[in-house]
Structure 1
């Protein structure tokens, strides 16, 4: 259940911080991507080197790197994660979380997080049952945070009672149960086309476009995070995926992409045509490199197959989503494609919107269906993927 999940692990100043090493190891072993955030006091109990080695990522503690002045962006961290886990959560940090105090990177990230936040308290039994602590926990629960109860046992003070941080294995179990319940697309199969196609002119030249595949692969990650099994048919792109639920088939031309999609289409529940497929290809590619001899070169182009339209004619149960990148009459052209290609939804990009289109890390979209349209703000492509998947799930009643 944790394969490919992005987990923020916040570690506070508590003797239980030593357990964060095992927790990090267990999460990574389950296939999660773990970014550790340490408070200043936590570094007295466990070293950043230990946690960076186990997480395979730099550990963040400060807002700025002292060496080069670069910023650890708490907003991006909060948007990146599928879940945030604060373990151990000290009494001090619980109080700050409950009252909106924001004096370190961990707390700033907590206030920015849009994902579910789990907290696992760790403190002596009298601190744990103090009215101020129980009141802070009640406040955090009222905000929608999720408590992983402290456990009963011997404490660092030598006393015995409730206050021990939950064992790492139990915290992992809480996360697995959460993601099992929230995976709306469990058992569904999704086909996604991504990237450009390259249509050969000769062995070294081709007709193509500036698509990178970022949007298609962001969608693949999001569908997989919701429990789907995803087949990506990608044109030439540097992108790939290590998610166990994502299988990538690499192709070059539109004809190759169509052939790969036809082999998979009948067995999927959802198909998303995010690739920027070349409309035309050279009729007869040269077998040898074309030498520069004249001032002009004439190419005879023929129309490529329309992959989305071809599969739209044979769809049965599939929920299909198309993409339209337009420069003029955007809404009208998108509506025409929606009907012509038998889509359930179409995602419109306009090259007129700054920060949208090919090669950007951001995108601005309008989603149209047969009942109307919704326009979204400029967002990262990961956030755009979240919006698209949410709309698909709602339209499918999931």
Structure 2
């Protein structure tokens, strides 16, 4: 991730304490964070808190002794790759909409050319006031992005809309502003992820070691690049990607097949990163199988090959497969391309450190239907996801 700068303007409201969490989360994404506080914000949170979390001086006064020889509001305005105002009060929204620049925050916003994200938080009646709504609509017309407030119990005790949006939603909007794009806009992409689970009895089951991280990374990056994403997922401990168009929870290979089949017609591309069981217990026991002397044999039956079935009805859709192998990687991958009618396959050797299940990185080879192969070094799964999506995009655009 290229190191970028976020300037955060904190206004005076009880939700100012949540801005501390936002600064912390953005720093954990390895971003430069600078905080500007209004005079009222300092009544709710001490500037030292933001200085400690951001590891930069918090700016509170236009006329305080400068920490550098830059013209500070112009310097911060130029540094910003994205500008976030949180919590945004009716007062500050109104001043920006009216072109008023009478403190460090409004002056810097006026001088920046970076995207500006505004996260309002205020009493319901204030938020619904026609003047405030007119100001919001005016700023939206100028290209300002708003993270709409939530409904709930407010600090004043009222119930209604005006509560600051979820912190993770705000962080996500900043992340999208910094690293997202619209190059996949208009494309519908279905992604499968995670393991399948095949029940033996009500207690036991057969599964595999897939964590779902690769598929979720693909879904996340596709969303951030503007695609409409359907994510079909086996059981994982991962959070659902924010902004996913449709999320389908599955368990067995059969339920995954049904979900893929149901959503296949409406997609432009199917990226099949789920680790689907090849076999399942032939006979399911409705009661727990009791322990006895001697060995236990479980007869296994073949599951439906999801990728192969989709290959039969492919038409003009892009099909991407995965091959996680421990031996004969290239031979097995090429065989799958032919038998499943894939456009290309992403192959990885599970014996290599940093590749495969339960890691944040991967080492892959991508082989297309013509036998062309590209070999990639170890990289994050999100970087692998972008490479896969670039290839999907190229195929769709060249059809």
- TM-score class normalised by the smaller sequence: 0.5 to 0.7
Displacement of 1:199 in angstroms is 0.9
Structure 1, unaligned runs of 5 or more? 1-6, 12-16, 28-32, 64-87, 96-120
Structure 2, unaligned runs of 5 or more? 85-95, 118-142, 147-175
Task: Figure out how many residues of one structure are paired with residues of the other and give that number.
Answer: 311
Q: Distance in 2 between matches of 1:214 and 1:388?
A: 15
User: Corresponding residue for 1:195?
Assistant: 194
Cα shift readout 1:275-327 (whole Å, capped 9, x = no counterpart): 10111111111111111103211111111110000011101121111000011
Q: 1:48 to 1:315 in 2, by over 3 A?
A: farther
User: Corresponding residue for 2:387?
Assistant: 387
Q: Distance in 1 between matches of 2:353 and 2:286?
A: 41
- State the secondary structure of the residue aligned to 1:193: strand
Q: Distance in 2 between matches of 1:251 and 1:178?
A: 32
Moved more, 37-46 or 191-200: 37-46
- State the secondary structure of the residue aligned to 1:237: coil
Q: 1:358 to 1:94 in 2, by over 3 A?
A: farther
Q: 1:180 to 1:259 in 2, by over 3 A?
A: same
Contact in 1 for aligned 2:222/2:229 (Cα 8 Å): yes
Contact in 2 for aligned 1:153/1:164 (Cα 8 Å): no
Q: 1:366 to 1:93 in 2, by over 3 A?
A: farther
User: Corresponding residue for 2:26?
Assistant: 35
Q: 1:179 to 1:381 in 2, by over 3 A?
A: closer
Cα shift readout 1:104-123 (whole Å, capped 9, x = no counterpart): xxxxxxxxxxxxxxxxx963
Q: Distance in 2 between matches of 1:349 and 1:48?
A: 55
Cα shift readout 1:160-182 (whole Å, capped 9, x = no counterpart): xx964338997233679979993
Correspondence 1:303-314 to 2 at 5 A: 303-314=302-313
Instruction: Give the RMSD, CA atoms, in angstroms.
Output: 4.7
User: Corresponding residue for 1:165?
Assistant: 109
Q: 1:324 to 1:94 in 2, by over 3 A?
A: farther
Displacement of 1:389 in angstroms is 1.5
User: Corresponding residue for 2:205?
Assistant: 206
Q: 1:192 to 1:20 in 2, by over 3 A?
A: farther
Q: Is 1:60–2:53 an aligned residue pair? A: yes
Correspondence 1:342-353 to 2 at 5 A: 342-353=341-352
User: Corresponding residue for 1:361?
Assistant: 360
Correspondence 1:234-249 to 2 at 5 A: 234-241=233-240, 243-249=242-248
User: Corresponding residue for 2:171?
Assistant: none
Task: Give the alignment's TM-score, normalised by structure 2.
Answer: 0.64
Q: Is 1:378–2:369 an aligned residue pair? A: no
Q: Distance in 1 between matches of 2:315 and 2:5?
A: 41
Contact in 2 for aligned 1:195/1:214 (Cα 8 Å): yes
Q: Distance in 1 between matches of 2:43 and 2:280?
A: 54
Correspondence 1:133-282 to 2 at 5 A: 154-156=101-103, 164-166=108-110, 171-172=116-117, 173=143, 182-241=181-240, 243-282=242-281
Moved more, 170-179 or 298-307: 170-179
Displacement of 1:146 in angstroms is 9.1
Contact in 1 for aligned 2:342/2:369 (Cα 8 Å): no
Contact in 1 for aligned 2:10/2:35 (Cα 8 Å): no
Cα shift readout 1:226-248 (whole Å, capped 9, x = no counterpart): 12221122112222415233322
